[in-house]
């Protein structure tokens, strides 16, 4: 029997998505702070210490769980939404930036998925949200976003969000892909993750893609995003500070004057 609450859901939208969770009486969904959009009258909202799974044995376990969440940049607390009336009730959560919401049925992935530390959106009660330390020293030194990742464990539904378009890839045994570290959304537990140098001094100095990339080796499933939020934020910041780069315009500064800059 599943230990997590069995929730139904529907995802709305294209570029700016939200997910509607349908709860039977006494069913609960947990969510990160700031993801809530709206709910029906029969839903009761509360704050839980730790990961909200209800599996912690005591206060010390909850404190340890909360501390692990802080390492991934999340809050000490998580929000729970429970249907306290008879009949089905609905609560909706929205992604924080343009992209896709990815539904993950953990029971189909051996009960565990590893994801970027800021990608978790919401999940059925019982899903445990922890941290995943990468085993390899290279990952720890050079992984950046990938050194400490989140792990979602259980047998229920969980939802993560991504930037831009989401590409799902199934890797066979030994099959390897090389990925920008920020483009990784999630991968299943059997996928091997490591960081490698970009070979060649020209690549390192002039490549523009950073000095390192992630290697993901199968077997398993990988979810990749086309637009990491860090890349989007960096591009917006570059336009907000100083003068704009000439984006291939033969007019140069004259083009800026024509544009009103």
Torsion angles phi and psi, residue 182, rounded to 5: -75, -15
> Quick one: CATH architecture of 8-227?
4-Layer Sandwich (3.60)
* pTM of the predicted protein model: 0.77
Domain ranges of the chain: 8-227
Tens-digit pLDDT profile for residues 98-130: 899 999 999 999 999 999 878 899 999 989 888
Higher pLDDT, 182 or 187: 187
SS (H, E, C) the chain: CCCCCCCEEEEECCCCCEEEEEECCCCEEEECCCCEEEECCCEEEEEEECCCCCCCCCHHHHHHHHHHHHHCCCCCEEEEEEECCCCCEEEEEECCCCCCEEEEEHHHCCCEEEECCCCEEEEECCCEEEEEECCCHHHHHHCHHHCEEEEEECCCEEEEECCCCEEEEEECCCCEEEECHHHEEEEECCCEEEEEECCCHHHHHHCCCCCEEEEEECCEEEEEECCCHHHHHHHHHHHHCCCCCCCCCCCCHHHHHHHCC
Tens-digit pLDDT profile for residues 54-98: 555 555 555 555 545 555 555 567 899 999 999 999 999 998 888
Q: Which residue has the tokens 């800059």?
A: 261
Share of the chain above pLDDT 70, in %: 68
Mean pLDDT of 138-165: 75
């Amino acid at each position: 029997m599943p230990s997590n609450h069995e929730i139904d859901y529907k995802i709305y939208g294209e570029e700016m998505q939200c997910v509607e969770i349908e709860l039977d009486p006494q069913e609960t969904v947990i969510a990160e702070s700031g993801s809530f959009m709206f709910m029906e009258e029969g839903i009761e909202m509360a704050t839980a210490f730790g990961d909200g799974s209800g599996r912690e044995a005591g206060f010390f376990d909850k404190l340890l769980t909360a501390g692990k969440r802080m390492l991934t940049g999340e809050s000490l607390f998580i929000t729970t939404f429970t249907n306290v009336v008879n009949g089905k009730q609905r609560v909706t959560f929205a992604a924080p930036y343009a992209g896709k919401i990815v539904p993950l049925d953990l029971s189909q992935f051996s009960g565990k998925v590893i994801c970027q530390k800021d990608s978790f959106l919401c999940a059925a009660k019982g899903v445990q949200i922890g941290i995943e330390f990468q085993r390899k020293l290279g990952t720890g030194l050079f992984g950046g976003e990938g050194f400490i990742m989140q792990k979602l464990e259980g047998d229920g539904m969980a939802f993560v969000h991504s930037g831009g378009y989401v590409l799902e890839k199934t890797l066979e045994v030994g099959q390897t892909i090389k990925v920008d570290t920020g483009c990784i959304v999630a991968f299943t537990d059997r996928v091997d993750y490591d960081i490698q140098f970009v070979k060649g001094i020209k690549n390192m100095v002039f490549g523009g893609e950073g000095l390192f990339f992630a290697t993901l080796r199968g077997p398993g499933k990988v979810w990749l995003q086309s637009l990491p939020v860090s890349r989007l934020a960096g591009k917006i910041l570059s336009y907000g500070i100083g003068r704009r780069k000439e984006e291939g315009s033969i007019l140069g500064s004259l083009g800026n004057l024509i544009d009103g800059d």
